Chains A and B, each alone.
Chain A
Amino acid sequence: MQLEYLPLRKEKSLYTWIGVIIVGLTTLVTGYISEFDVLEAFRVIPGVLNFIFTDFLPPAVKAVPDFWGSLLDTVYMAIVSTVTGATISLILALLCATPTTPHPLFKVTIRAFASLLRNIPALAWTIILVPAFGIGKTVGLMALIIGSVGDMTRFFTESIEEIDLGGIEAMRAVGGSYWLMLKGGVLPQCVPALVSWTLYNLELNIRASTIIGMVGGGGIGFFILSTIKLFRYDHAAMAILAVAIVVLFVEFLSKNIRERIM
């Protein structure tokens, strides 16, 4: 056994070294392009910590009424975009996934469409849509829905394609209709995965909707950006803290629901 083991190990360590060298070179090249200075990074640590702890903390509790409305808007936007996105994605995914697609042509088109939507970040969608629709919640919501549809269509399609096809075949064999097949064969198998993906998307959307306001999409992002620009860091800190609490709460909720259904 020893004899068989040793040569393999040598080969493996060669690969490891090649990997390390490639990663090292990439670090140097990308560091050069992005003007990243390691020494500078270490040098700024005390300053940054000092900046965060003295300028940002303690957060100004009196700022809460100023952003309370936009914080709620942020949460509402995340909920609405996730549910709307999930509904649209479910329809698209059923049309696109191999076991349920009515025609292969749908598959290619929807895949390409979803890929286009998700590979442009939601924040970029906001910037693109603002000139036509103006600044505000409507644009932010549209951008969030676009991103959600792009992500969830892909996830949903993959979940539907992973199901066991035996049951569906049996239903087809006894003459079950397309709807019956969906209701009795496809959905019961993949609903836990779909709900789980939707909750994951809600976590993503709550983050995205907090920053979407920075480019004119409504919500708390605008408050954070403008207070930082006005050097009212303690006000910004309170808003950031509120965002963190909301994010942690949503994560906690999502985790609990997921554990129950899986």
Chain B
Amino acid sequence: MNTTGKISIISEKQRVLYTLLFIGTLVLYFFSLYQLKLEFKGGWENVLKALSFAKRMLLHMDLSDWKDVLTAAMESISIAVLATIISATLAFFVSFAAASNVSLRVVSNLCKAVAAVVRAVPTLIWTLIFVAYLGLGPFPGVLGLFFHSFAYLVKAFSQSIEEVKEGNIEALKATGASWVQTMAKGVYPPITTAVISWTALRFEFNLGMSSILGFVGAGGIGMELSNTMRIFDFEKAGFVVLIIFLMSFSVEMLFHKLKLNVDKCIVKDSSNS
């Protein structure tokens, strides 16, 4: 093939950008890997050990505690559902105050700054703080999940509100509609789908989170997993892991069937989580 006749698929500027990104990533990667100074003590022996544990977990699964495990699973699911409902409801109202196009600039900036700080601290750390204050149990778990979800959804919802066309709002204002009327008829209808998708996305995340809250003592199925693993009861742990998998998997399948395309929201907006 004649090279002079080649048509570049990407622009020169992009080519430079990608090359820089690629080289930067490689340098960063090997530097990090070097700095971590990983040790592989045991090497293959550990892999064989892991396989024998996996065999015990999967092939000799112990279902005798099914009642306790399922109760704990119900508790996890409840924590996730409850935290999602409360945070979505509150975030829905607060997001109108946080959206720059329908709210005062000061209020909007303040809401966004607080939300950004709350979001920057991982959910499990919030839970840990609540556990430290309130003691063990599902209650601090709900609060910890709620705290982070609320900040996350305020940001997500207010971003959707900011995408509402200025014309919608202006047209309603011109008819003499009050602020509440403008929000209800001009802003709420176009964002409904986005609100549902974001809430669904957050629910998936919260469900995953609720199954590990137990590691820090905040109730749910995580407690069962860490208890069984602590005494190396792999047969019982296998069943707990299976239930954790099924919880998350069934929700993923359900949302897939309902065509709540939750992943799409992530790439669409340039920043999130």
Contacts and interface: CB of A to CB of B under 8 A. Distances in A.
A23 B132 contact: no
B69 to A, nearest CB: 14
A191 B17 CA distance: 12
B270 A240 contact: no
B129 A52 contact: yes
Interface residues of A, number: 84
A164 to B, nearest CB: 13
A62 B25 CA distance: 33
A131 interface: yes
Contact of B229 (A35, A44, A79, A130): A130
Interface residues of B, number: 79
Nearest to A24: B85
Given A131-B229, A240-B121, A193 B78 contact: no
A80 B33 contact: yes
Contact of B50 (A133, A225, A233): A133
Nearest to A229: B132
A207 B36 CA distance: 18
Contact of B216 (A75, A133, A225): A225
Interface string B20-64: 010001001100110110111110001101100100010000000
A137 B273 contact: no
Given A29-B78, A35-B138, A76-B33, 4 more contacts: A36-B142, A248-B120, A260-B17, A261-B21
Interface of B: 9-10, 14, 17-18, 21, 25, 28-29, 32-33, 35-36, 38-42, 46-47, 49-50, 53, 57, 74-75, 77-79, 81-82, 85-86, 116-117, 120-122, 124-125, 128-130, 132-134, 137-139, 141-143, 208-209, 211-212, 215-216, 219, 222, 225-226, 229, 232, 234, 237, 241, 244-245, 248-249, 252, 263, 266-267, 270-273
14 contacts: A30-B77, A76-B35, A77-B36, A83-B25, A120-B244, A121-B208, A124-B211, A127-B229, A131-B234, A132-B47, A132-B50, A196-B267, A207-B122, A254-B271
